[in-house]
Amino acid sequence: MKHTLAVLVENRPGVLTHISGLISRRAFNIESIAAGYTEEPDTTRITIVVEGDEIEQEQVVNQLSKLIDVIKISDLTAVESIQRELALIKVKASLETRSDIINIVNIFRASIVDVSRETMVIELSGDETKIDALCQVLEEDHGIIEIVRTGKIALSRGPIPAKA
Amino acid sequence: MIMTGAEAIIESLKKENVDVAFGYPGGAVLTLYDALYKANFRHILTKHEQGAVHAADGYARATGKVGVVIATSGPGATNLVTGIATAYMDSIPMVAITGQVAVPLIGRDSFQEADIRGITTPITKHNYLVKTVEELPRALKEAFYIARTGRPGPVVVDIAKDVFAATFDYEYPLEVKLRGYHPVNEGNQTVINQVFEEVSSASKPLLFIGGGVNLSDSSSELREFVEQSGFPVITSLMGLGCIPFDHPQFLGMVGMHGTYAANMATTECDLLLGIGVRFDDRVTGLLSDFASKAKIIHFDIDPAEINKNVIAQIRVIGDLKWSLPALMKKVGGVSGELKERVRPWREKVLGWKQDFPLTYEQGKDLVMPQAVVEKVSQLTQGEAVIVTDVGQNQIWAAQFYGFKHPRRFLTSGGLGTMGYGLPAALGAQCGLPDQKVVLFVGDGGVMMNCQELATLADCNFPVVVLVLNNQTLGMVAQWQRMFYGGRYSHTSLKGHTDFVKLAEAMGVTGLRVSEPAELDKVLAQALAVQGPVLVDIRTPETVDVLPMVPAGARLDQMIMGG
């Protein structure tokens, strides 16, 4: 099964090298990884989605915890959490097809962030399946030129932060 | 105090009680070497950076202190890689200080530039790239702290060339503040209670001792537990010496080349206490059938070791200096009962030990390698510091020397690094000047770092180098004989090298043993030499290390022999 981990690390040069080095050395199966600043300037938060059974997942947590730069790891799979991914999709769009694309975008509650004579760029945030669904419709009906996705980020519901 | 970065490094080394560094100078560390010169800091100049890093490792294993190695940027640093990986696999405390090109040159493929931080990330406990002199004291303080605490390991501190020369107001931090590093020394008492319940109800318990006991210097705590419990004991390669070889409850080494008694006891036991072990594949054999009748209790300071290879029913996280005495407190009261309960089991396994001892066939024309090890043991009363290379020499030393003390068997267990032995022996002798240091090495491995014979001579370190010369890469050839139809692909080392002359050319006394009758006399002579000595001992080409559990087989599927 998939586990979503919130990994709090020191905001220092080389931290991502240590994380990626470990993942490669231990041959862990990482589905997505997304890093960014947090409410504390010296802390970076990395959301990692791991595929594997309980034993593998325990190893990922244990081995990551061993890294000196890693401050704390929370498994957000075990608690109620909000999970989101952001995608930007550049789709083929002519004068004739624009209105259909706008309809699809509205249904998915996505937004159009750029238009040219031949293309549109659509922004969508949501869970993985929602983004997959939009991509599928756009690809089949209109043709996708390129996609960029952020990887999943996640936050627990309720008052308790991952650092607690 | 105002000083340069280079001077700050020397001050920091002194504050960390470092009394010697092994290394090799070069462009990026010129300023550091200038400071070493001015401070008259003790430095052992090896002939190759790989020699320096293995020497720092041997020094650390022998003394328990942090080994320090210095190398220049680029090739100097990359020559450390094998030695760092060796130390990492065996959890050896080490700080490697490498020079890096100057900050403005980093990332431009400059002369002698290599990203040693990136290269060593998977083989270090932690590493640093220091680009400003102000961050230097904290990086060094943390490096030593991380290297020696918790599960020890190597730390690389890569320092840009301009940092060595920059001046600043030096102050060494008193404390380490690391948000993400809190080794658990004292664990959970409730777990000890659970362990005690298992220990007091098991009828076929077995203690499995590993390198963790050596590293944590908890051999005396272990011995007390062994005495009070009456449980039989086995060790891994790295655990040899933690319990005296002649202890009546000791069954020998377990695993691929383990004793019959140790491997059968592991297969038959109902409770296995793994103490400072990592259940390496050379120990477990076929993992799914390892100790399949037993509950497993795993003692380790590193939580990531638990359930990595073997699933443990109880995990005891913490320093063995805490867990073993905590368990002893409970066991002490019921010692008599325990011993009585496990008596039938103990008698059974000791019967195996008696019926299937380690033996070997006597040779006719050439000296048997096992006989060399036994003879050295006899001549040194089992008190020498034994260093090995990797391969047959290593296992024969492990099987036949008879270790009495911890930290007296230095060998590359995890990584299995050929070429480790000679420089490691050098480092061990440097750390223990009053001890007899004896190296068992093959004619293959000795050539991998033979340049360090010259360092032995230059330092006049009286290491006894015993080359078990079978003119073949013995262990590889053994596998070719057993599993590859006897096709000896590139394992013959028949050549023109004269090891006696090689030794003499480098200033080391060279001796030779060609036939069994000469062995005793020449070994005695070698041990009496004041200074380094190499003995070239011709041994038969096709001697197998036995018993042997073929890779991937169950522990009870041993090929016996001897």
ipTM, 2 dp: 0.88
Count the domains in chain A: 2
Residue A43 contacts residue A10 (beta carbons within 8 Å): yes
- In chain A, the percentage of residues whose pLDDT exceeds 70 is 100
Query: Same domain for A92 and A149?
Result: yes
Query: Same domain for B55 and B194?
Result: no
Calpha distance B261→B352 (Å, rounded): 5
Q: Given this model, what pLDDT does residue A24 score? A: 82
Q: Given this model, what pLDDT does residue A54 score? A: 87
Q: Given this model, what pLDDT does residue A27 score? A: 83
Structural domain for B444, as ranges: 369-538
Q: Confirm whether A65 is domain-assigned.
A: yes
Q: What is the pairing mode between strands A119-126 and A81-92?
A: antiparallel
Query: Same domain for B262 and B330?
Result: yes
* Residue numbers in B near A74 (CB within 8 A): none
Query: Same domain for A64 and A111?
Result: no
pLDDT digits (tens, 9 = 90+) for B266-305: 999 999 999 999 999 999 999 999 999 999 999 999 999 9
End-to-end Cα separation, chain B, in angstroms: 66
Q: Does B132 touch chain A (CB under 8 A)?
A: no
Domain at A108, CATH number: 3.30.70.1150
Those residues with Cβ within 8 angstroms of residue B51's Cβ, 6 or more apart along the chain or in another chain? B22, B422, B423, B426, B449, B451, B452, B455
Task: Give the residue from chain B lying closest to A22, CA to CA.
Answer: B122
From B23, B27, B30, select the one nearest B5 (Cα to Cα): B30
Q: Given this model, what pLDDT does residue B282 score? A: 94
Calpha distance B344→B323 (Å, rounded): 27
Torsion sign (Cα): B27, B29, B31, B36: negative
Q: Does B177 touch chain A (CB under 8 A)?
A: no
Show which of A75, A107, A125 is a domain's final residue.
A75
Q: Confirm whether B562 is domain-assigned.
A: no
Query: Same domain for A6 and A69?
Result: yes
Query: Same domain for B319 and B348?
Result: yes
Task: Give the residue from chain A lying closest to B117, CA to CA.
Answer: A14
Q: Per the structure block, which two tokens stand in for A14?
A: 């080389």
Count the domains in chain B: 3
Q: Does A9 touch chain B (CB under 8 A)?
A: yes
Query: Same domain for A59 and A90?
Result: no
Q: Confirm whether B334 is domain-assigned.
A: yes
Q: Given this model, what pLDDT does residue B562 score? A: 56
Calpha distance B169→B290 (Å, rounded): 57
User: What amino acid occupies position B356?
Assistant: F
Query: Same domain for A11 and A68?
Result: yes
Q: Confirm whether A16 is domain-assigned.
A: yes
Query: Same domain for B377 and B299?
Result: no
Q: Say if residue A125's pLDDT is above 60.
A: yes
Query: Same domain for B330 and B204?
Result: yes
Q: Does B542 touch chain A (CB under 8 A)?
A: no
Q: Given this model, what pLDDT does residue A17 score? A: 87
Query: Same domain for A20 and A59?
Result: yes
Q: Confirm whether A160 is domain-assigned.
A: no
Residue B93 contacts residue B148 (beta carbons within 8 Å): yes
Q: Say if residue A14's pLDDT is above 90.
A: no
Query: Same domain for A106 and A148?
Result: yes
Question: Which residues between 289 and 318 in chain B have a beta carbon less than 8 angstroms from any beta carbon of chain A?
Answer: 302-304, 306-308, 311
Q: Does A68 touch chain B (CB under 8 A)?
A: yes
Q: Confirm whether A40 is domain-assigned.
A: yes
Calpha distance B376→B253 (Å, rounded): 20
Residue from the list A55, A63, A71 with its beta carbon closest to the beta carbon of B179: A71
Query: Same domain for A149 and A90?
Result: yes
Q: Confirm whether B261 is domain-assigned.
A: yes
Query: Same domain for B521 and B405?
Result: yes
Query: Same domain for B12 and B98?
Result: yes
Helix, strand, coil proportions of chain A in percent (round to 5)?
30, 40, 30
Show which of A48, A75, A102 is a domain's final residue.
A75
Q: Given this model, what pLDDT does residue A20 score? A: 85
Calpha distance B126→B154 (Å, rounded): 7
Query: Same domain for B382 and B512?
Result: yes
Q: Say if residue A25's pLDDT is above 90.
A: no
Query: Same domain for A44 and A95?
Result: no
Residues of B identified as active-site: 49, 111-112, 161, 475
Structural domain for A55, as ranges: 2-75
Residue by residue, pLDDT tens for chain B (562 residues) are 999 999 999 999 999 999 999 999 999 999 999 999 999 999 999 999 999 999 999 999 999 999 999 999 999 999 999 999 999 999 999 999 999 999 999 999 999 999 999 999 999 999 999 999 999 999 999 999 999 999 999 999 999 999 999 999 999 999 999 999 999 999 999 999 999 999 999 999 999 999 999 999 999 999 999 999 999 999 999 999 999 999 999 999 999 999 999 999 999 999 999 999 999 999 999 999 999 999 999 999 999 999 999 999 999 999 999 999 999 999 999 999 999 999 999 999 999 999 999 999 987 889 999 999 999 999 999 999 999 999 999 999 999 999 999 999 999 999 999 999 999 999 999 999 999 999 999 999 999 999 999 999 999 999 999 999 999 999 999 999 999 999 999 999 998 999 999 999 999 999 999 999 999 999 999 999 999 999 999 999 999 999 999 999 999 999 997 5
Classify residue B503 by burial, with Cβ atoms within 10 Å: 0-12, 13-18, 19+: buried
* Residue numbers in B near A14 (CB within 8 A): 117, 127-129
Query: Same domain for A7 and A71?
Result: yes
Query: Same domain for A23 and A64?
Result: yes
Task: Give the residue from chain A lying closest to B302, CA to CA.
Answer: A66
CB contact under 8 A, A68 and B121: no
pLDDT (mean) for A131-153: 96
Show which of B307, B322, B355 is a domain's final residue.
B355
Q: Given this model, what pLDDT does residue B506 score? A: 98
Q: Confirm whether B183 is domain-assigned.
A: no
Query: Same domain for B491 and B377?
Result: yes
Query: Same domain for A88 and A149?
Result: yes
Please calculate the CA angle B256-B258-B259 and round it to the nearest 5 degrees: 145
Query: Same domain for B349 and B383?
Result: no
Residue B337 contacts residue B199 (beta carbons within 8 Å): no
Residue showing tokens 């080490």 = B94
Q: Confirm whether B439 is domain-assigned.
A: yes
Q: What is the pairing mode between strands B154-160 and B94-100?
A: parallel
Domain at A16, CATH number: 3.30.70.260
Query: Same domain for B343 and B373?
Result: no
Domain at B10, CATH number: 3.40.50.970
Q: Confirm whether B557 is domain-assigned.
A: no
Q: Confirm whether A67 is domain-assigned.
A: yes
Window from A75-79, A129-133, B103-107, B368-372 with minimum mean pLDDT: A75-79
Show which of A53, A75, A97 is a domain's final residue.
A75
